[in-house]
Structure formats: structure tokens, C-alpha cells
Amino acid sequence: MIASDLEMLLRAVFAIVGAGALGWERERYGKPAGLRTQMMVGLGSAMFTMVSLRLYLASQHESSPGQFDLMRIIAGIIGGIGFLGAGTIIQSQGSVKGITTASTIWVVGAYGIACGLGYYSLAGMNLLLALMVLIVFGRLERRFLGSPLDPPSSAEEFPLEGGQCRDRRDE
């Protein structure tokens, strides 16, 4: 059955809100793919999925000579999201940064696909688990492994040589 316009709007809103929660966590730490980026990835994934699903269902009811493969569209979405994620990864001076942000984009894409298909419980579980990994395990990592990535504070500055100050977020 083809979803109504109201149902598709609900799926899109669900995708935006959940992706926004993950984006807020990234934004909070000053990461390159923050709130709006994650929301757009979630919305885009949901929209591509809904359009693809509509086309697939329409092709099943009409006598069309061609085949429509929904999985190819989903695979294309995943590939595009991988490309976006790769853009957030930076290698500098022997270290790699941005892997968590890149993987968050990937998870948001999967979340958007689930929302686009109307799998709200699956999407909700994905969202809760992703937030748990980012927030709870992020805190544990900082506490026990001594990661320097504390939430940014505009009041915290550290002196550099020559009397200059740098913002803690530059670490």
C-alpha cells in the first residue's frame, strides 16, 4: 500500500528530529558535521527511500516492461552517504580525525532509510543505541582513557608562547 502524503510527512519529520538529536551531539563538540548536516542526511535518506518505495509499489500495479529494484536505490543512498562521511575524515601528522563523525553520518543514513520505510520502532532503537554510543561511551572514553575532547567552553582558554591565548576547542 502506498503511504499517504501525511504519512510521508510524518516519516520525514521523524527522520529530521532523530537525526537532529545525533547532530546536536556532534555540534556540541564542534565537529564538522553537526546539527543541520545530520538533519539533512536523515531527511535526504528518508526522501530517497520514500520516492523509491512509491516508484517500486507503482511498478508492481502497472504493466511495466522494466524491473524496479528497491535495493539498488538503497545501495545508492548508502554509497552517497559513505562519500559524505569520507569528507569528514582528516589525516594529519600521523593521526586520523573524524572517524566517529563519519560513522555517525552513516548511522543517520540508515536511520533515515528506516524512517522512509516507516519502520519507526527499528529507527527509534537505532537512534537510542547511537545516542548511547556517542554520549555514554563517549563520557566513559574521556574519563577512563583520558581523551581531551571535553565539551567546548568559550570561557576556557590556555596561554600559548608569546602571551597569546588559544581556545580550548582548538585541541
SS3 60: helix
List, as one string, the DSSP characters of 108-128. HHHHHHHHHTT-HHHHHHHHH
Checking if the pLDDT of 22 tops 80, the result is: yes
Q: What is the mean pLDDT of residues 21-30?
A: 92
Task: Look at the pTM and tell me if it is higher than 0.85.
Answer: no
Q: How far apart are CA 29 and CA 6, in angstroms?
A: 35
Q: How far apart are CA 51 and CA 30, in angstroms?
A: 33
The pLDDT assigned to 168 comes to 42
Q: How far apart are CA 152 and CA 58, in angstroms?
A: 50
Q: What is the H or E stretch that residue 131 is in? A: helix 120-131
Indicate the pLDDT class of residue 43, thresholds 50, 70 and 90.
Answer: very high
Checking if the pLDDT of 154 tops 60, the result is: no
Taking alpha carbons only, the member of 55, 46, 48, 57 closest to residue 10 is: 46
**Percentage of the chain exceeding pLDDT 70:** 80
Q: Which of 40-44, 151-155, 167-171 has the largest mean confidence? A: 40-44
The better pLDDT of the pair 60, 29 is held by 29
Checking if the pLDDT of 31 tops 90, the result is: no
Beta bridge partners of 165: 159
What range defines the domain where residue 98 resides? 5-170
Tens of pLDDT, residue by residue over 98-130, are 899 999 999 999 999 999 999 999 999 999 999
Q: What is the H or E stretch that residue 151 is in? A: none
Q: What is the mean pLDDT of residues 7-11?
A: 96
Taking alpha carbons only, the member of 152, 144, 41 closest to residue 101 is: 41
Q: How far apart are CA 126 and CA 113, in angstroms?
A: 11
Indicate the pLDDT class of residue 158, thresholds 50, 70 and 90.
Answer: very low
Checking if the pLDDT of 7 tops 80, the result is: yes
128 HSE (CA, 13 A, CB side):
6
Q: How far apart are CA 32 and CA 9, in angstroms?
A: 28
Mean residue pLDDT across the chain: 83
The better pLDDT of the pair 108, 31 is held by 108
Count of domains observed in the chain: 1
- Tell me if 107 sits within 8 A of 33, measured CB to CB: no
